[in-house]
With several copies, the nearest count.
Chain A
Amino acid sequence: MTGRQLITDAQNTWCPGCGNFSIQHTLKNLLADMEKEGKDLDTVVLVTGIGCHAKMADYINVNSFYSIHGRAIPVATGIKLANPDLTVICCVGDGDAYAEGLDHLLFAAKRNIDITVLVHNNRVYGLTTGQYTPTSPLGFKGKSTPAGTLEFPMNPLDLLLASGATYVARGYTRKMEQLKTLVRDGVLHRGFSFIDILQICATFFPMTDYYNKRTYDLPEYDRSVFDLACSRAREWDYNGDAPIALGVFYQREGPTLDKKVDRVIRSVQERDNAILDFLASRQ
């Protein structure tokens, strides 16, 4: 379907000022560009978890699988394995992908399955009205931790690097031009692409000033050097007040699972014969 309207008629219910708008805009523009460049948008699938971020499935007018909390990644993996011609993009939350379903995220990286994961990392559970997530800073006062969390946040970049992701980037919803490049490069990357997006939650964690002050663009460097990527990734630990680098931390080419898997298509006749052959072997 060409020239489609890229945004559905669904009523948008994000809060005013929410960073999700930027991500929606980024996706929309990217899709528009891709279509212009000849991409058939009927082959794009958006998979989401559950959370504010996940409403993207309702809003973007492409194929979508609005799955359950924490489980977008295995769905996306199944889709890509079933049909490697599809372009599969996941919009997931930090509660969603770093807490509820962390294992799936790391296994997708390990498998280097060719999907692109956008983590709408607002560092809070938005839709359930403000509890801490694995990336909330130490001492965060959310509704489940009114006296402040006792846990140091995780560094998702570090974890994803350790898990074998072949494209690791960080964006920020207030840097939309860059964000678009990061997402586009992620989608184009052959392999597992991970983009942690610092997303403003206007209602429960409005960090605009904080991020505006601290974010900076990664300088040019050899993205394929793992150790360099690691030290870059560790500069900011999602807790302290260090400078926050944005850009692509790491990228390398590697065989992807979806390309490695055998996909033999058998006719009904072939299958019936295979069944009979097997049974005969057991006589």
Chain B
Amino acid sequence: MVHETSVLVGGKAGEGINSAGMVVAQLLNRLGYYTFMYYDYPSLIRGGHNFAIIRASDRQIGIHRDAVDYVLALNQETLERHEDRFDERTVRIFNSDVVRDEGQGVSVSESLKAENAPAIMGNSTVIGAFAKAAGIPWDTVVNVFTRHLPKGTQQNLAVAKRGYDQVAAVNPITPVGDRCCSLVSGNEAAGLGLVAGGITAYVAYPMTPSSGLLHFLAENAWNFGVSVVHPENEIAVILMALGYSYAGRRAAVGTSGGGFCLMTEGLSLAGMAEIPIVIFVSQRTGPSTGLPTYTAQSDLRFILNAGQGEFPRFVAAPGDAGQAYYWSAVAADMAWRYQVPAFILADKTLSEGMYSIDLEKLPMFKTGAYHAWDGMEQYRRYAYTDSGISPLAFPGAAGAIVKVNGYAHDASGITTEDGGIVSQMTKKRLLKGENLAAGLKDYDTVDLAGVPSAETAVICWGSVRGACLEACEALGIRMVQPVVLSPFPDQKLRESLKGARRVIVVEENATGQLAALLRLGGFQVDATILHYDGRPLTPDLLKAHLKEVLQ
């Protein structure tokens, strides 16, 4: 039997919905559950409707479901907006100061007054009430508050206790073990991965939904040994980062679509000058400013083809926090091993979703070596080699004159207009791409899950993996997720699709960008399920779509 439960916390922007949600997630984490939290908010600072859905399951999950078992309503709107998610068994907990409803009301103002606590602690009352209703032992609440609300813990607990004591344990949640995962967002996981991959400089200009990575690395810069720089704009971002890389430090940048546009010229420079660079792009609904705080998977084609001219690039699109961690580290490695731009293509769902990472199972990543100059022969930045990869040296290295150049250049890095050298250098760069592709043979670039032997296969990418996996398992379908999208893992994909007779591609965009890529690679695509209203596909919705397609 599957144990699982979902909790919705809703209220106005600025009311701390996100942190309330995180506390709820930690409570469920303490019961041994894997959790996922989706946080939904419009692009504004106060007011407007925010909500979080915390889902807990005894299996790893990467997305929320439509229906919820508990609702924590900080305002009336929460109950109205989400009615579809409730049934008669849904436990309704609310702030009775501002919400009228049947169910378990607790007065936030009274708790605060009684404890002489500031308004900011109000949510604790409601969380306390939830804990009781869900049968969570008070000890667990104490434990979670102590670890995760270190400021004013005692007062917060006192406020929570008032909520706890006011309601009844109507629908206890069964503890499922004593596993205790680490709850991290996709952005944080990517940040950890970058650190694991040896990144020592992160340069970014804030842009939702990538800003979390900037904030995370800035906050932990000292511990991780990462220099974090926030310059005047995204053009400066990528060029500063290229300066860092040239000087020998592994640099990464992060942004979203509009900011990435401004990096494309620097990207092409990196391609030509063969300067390693890691680029984290988190997608949101476009075009243009679009929906800054809502998700999409509509920049794949852009990322794959951005920049004038032709040069190899690495692109990985992780589907959950675990993959974000691992592939961010790999991206850093690939950038340096092959001296190419390496992308981590995320989306809002992944970036800002909170996932469970099981620390016990976390592999420590070993950063690979790059091709360093041996100091013996005369240094030539673009020396021809069998692999197309020239040895790296950095300014300051005794005896090396390191000349990088965005013009067509010769092996020494001096500008040339000689047609022969120009085409040879183009071949050199493409050769690196071939070697990159070959090097990836050792990696699990395609994830095969669901029911691997099923004749129907769903292919997806990025965060939609979470919904696909569940829908596929439920419907007996094979799930195939190419994590690496450039170089395109043709062969691994073909293996994963062996025996599949019907292929359905699921994406959060309007034109089927992965589907196009598949067709280009000669893969059969029988149907596409496209979803593009900014909200992540849930397993429920996807199942419905799949059933329709499969009819």
- A residues bordering B, Cβ < 8 Å? 1, 4, 8-11, 13-16, 40, 42-45, 47, 50, 52, 55, 57-58, 61-71, 74-83, 85-86, 99-104, 107, 125-129, 131-132, 134, 143-147, 203, 261-266, 268, 270-272, 274-283
CB distance from A142 to the nearest CB of B (A): 8
**Contact sample, A vs B, 16 pairs, CB 8 Å cutoff:** A4-B401, A13-B46, A40-B398, A42-B399, A58-B414, A66-B403, A66-B405, A77-B231, A78-B203, A86-B395, A104-B236, A128-B208, A143-B215, A147-B221, A264-B225, A274-B220
Q: Are B233 and A275 in contact (CB under 8 A)?
A: no
CA distance A103 to B237 in the complex (A): 13
CA distance A64 to B379 in the complex (A): 13
CA distance A79 to B248 in the complex (A): 9
Closest to A77 in B: B240
Closest to B211 in A: A128
Instruction: Confirm or deny: B362 has a beta carbon within 8 angstroms of a beta carbon on chain A.
Output: yes
Q: Are B14 and A203 in contact (CB under 8 A)?
A: yes
CB distance from B133 to the nearest CB of A (A): 24
Q: Are A82 and B14 in contact (CB under 8 A)?
A: no
With a cutoff of 8 Å between Cβ atoms, the chain A residues found around residue B398 in the complex are 1, 40, 42
Q: Are B44 and A103 in contact (CB under 8 A)?
A: no
Q: Are B232 and A79 in contact (CB under 8 A)?
A: no
Q: Are A131 and B206 in contact (CB under 8 A)?
A: yes
Contact (A262, B403) CB under 8 Å given A15-B14, A86-B395, A143-B214: no
Q: Are A10 and B195 in contact (CB under 8 A)?
A: no
Q: Are B45 and A67 in contact (CB under 8 A)?
A: no
CA distance A278 to B46 in the complex (A): 30
Pick the residue among A82, A127, A270 that contacts B248 (CB under 8 A).
Answer: A82
CA distance A274 to B13 in the complex (A): 33
Q: How does the 8 Å CB contact mask read for B349-381 relative to A, with 1 for contact and 0 for none? A: 000000001010010100100000000000000
With a cutoff of 8 Å between Cβ atoms, the chain A residues found around residue B42 in the complex are 13
Partner-contacting stretch, out of B67-75, B154-162, B180-188, B333-341: B180-188
CA distance A57 to B14 in the complex (A): 23
CA distance A63 to B248 in the complex (A): 13
Residue tally, chain B, CB below 8 Å to A:
93
Contacting residues of chain B (238-252) with chain A, CB-CB under 8 angstroms: 239-244, 246-249, 251
Q: How does the 8 Å CB contact mask read for B373-415 relative to A, with 1 for contact and 0 for none? A: 0000000000000000000001111111111111101001111
Pick the residue among B29, B208, B247, B406 that contacts A86 (CB under 8 A).
Answer: B247
* Pairs A-B, 9 closest by C-beta atoms: A78-B243, A266-B225, A78-B240, A82-B247, A13-B44, A74-B239, A15-B46, A63-B395, A144-B230
With a cutoff of 8 Å between Cβ atoms, the chain B residues found around residue A62 in the complex are 401
- B residues bordering A, Cβ < 8 Å? 13-14, 29, 42-48, 147, 180-184, 188, 192, 195-196, 198, 200-201, 203-208, 211, 214-215, 218-225, 227-233, 235-237, 239-244, 246-249, 251, 258, 265-266, 269, 273, 288-289, 292, 357, 359, 362, 364, 367, 394-407, 409, 412-415
CA distance A58 to B224 in the complex (A): 38
CA distance A131 to B231 in the complex (A): 11
With A274-B195, A278-B220, A281-B147 known, 12 other A-B pairs at CB within 8 A are A8-B414, A10-B415, A42-B398, A43-B396, A58-B405, A63-B403, A67-B269, A70-B233, A144-B206, A271-B224, A277-B223, A280-B182
With a cutoff of 8 Å between Cβ atoms, the chain A residues found around residue B223 in the complex are 274, 277-278
Contact (A282, B182) CB under 8 Å given A67-B406, A275-B196: yes
Pick the residue among B47, B196, B200, B414 that contacts A10 (CB under 8 A).
Answer: B414
Pick the residue among A69, A203, A271 that contacts B258 (CB under 8 A).
Answer: A69
Among A11, A43, A62, A82, the most chain B Cβ lie within 10 Å of the Cβ of A82
With a cutoff of 8 Å between Cβ atoms, the chain A residues found around residue B45 in the complex are 13-15, 52, 126-127, 129, 203
CA distance A47 to B357 in the complex (A): 44
Contact (A276, B395) CB under 8 Å given A62-B401, A78-B247, A99-B233: no
With a cutoff of 8 Å between Cβ atoms, the chain B residues found around residue A274 in the complex are 195, 220, 223-225
With a cutoff of 8 Å between Cβ atoms, the chain B residues found around residue A281 in the complex are 147, 182
CA distance A78 to B235 in the complex (A): 12
Q: Are A68 and B44 in contact (CB under 8 A)?
A: no
With a cutoff of 8 Å between Cβ atoms, the chain B residues found around residue A276 in the complex are 359
CB distance from A282 to the nearest CB of B (A): 4
Q: Are B192 and A275 in contact (CB under 8 A)?
A: yes
Q: Are A42 and B359 in contact (CB under 8 A)?
A: no
Q: Are B184 and A279 in contact (CB under 8 A)?
A: yes
With a cutoff of 8 Å between Cβ atoms, the chain A residues found around residue B405 in the complex are 57-58, 64, 66
CA distance A83 to B243 in the complex (A): 10
Pick the residue among A42, A134, A262 that contacts B395 (CB under 8 A).
Answer: A42
CA distance A8 to B409 in the complex (A): 14
With a cutoff of 8 Å between Cβ atoms, the chain B residues found around residue A277 in the complex are 223
With a cutoff of 8 Å between Cβ atoms, the chain A residues found around residue B228 in the complex are 144
CA distance A101 to B239 in the complex (A): 12
CA distance A257 to B214 in the complex (A): 20
Q: Are A279 and B240 in contact (CB under 8 A)?
A: no
Q: Are B201 and A82 in contact (CB under 8 A)?
A: yes
Q: Are B236 and A13 in contact (CB under 8 A)?
A: no
Pick the residue among B198, B239, B265, B401 that contacts A63 (CB under 8 A).
Answer: B401
Pick the residue among B196, B218, B230, B244 that contacts A271 (CB under 8 A).
Answer: B196
Closest to A83 in B: B247
CA distance A262 to B399 in the complex (A): 29
CA distance A223 to B182 in the complex (A): 58
Q: Are B243 and A77 in contact (CB under 8 A)?
A: yes
CA distance A272 to B197 in the complex (A): 10
CA distance A144 to B233 in the complex (A): 14
With a cutoff of 8 Å between Cβ atoms, the chain A residues found around residue B237 in the complex are 74
Contact (A280, B233) CB under 8 Å given A1-B398, A266-B225: no
CA distance A42 to B43 in the complex (A): 29
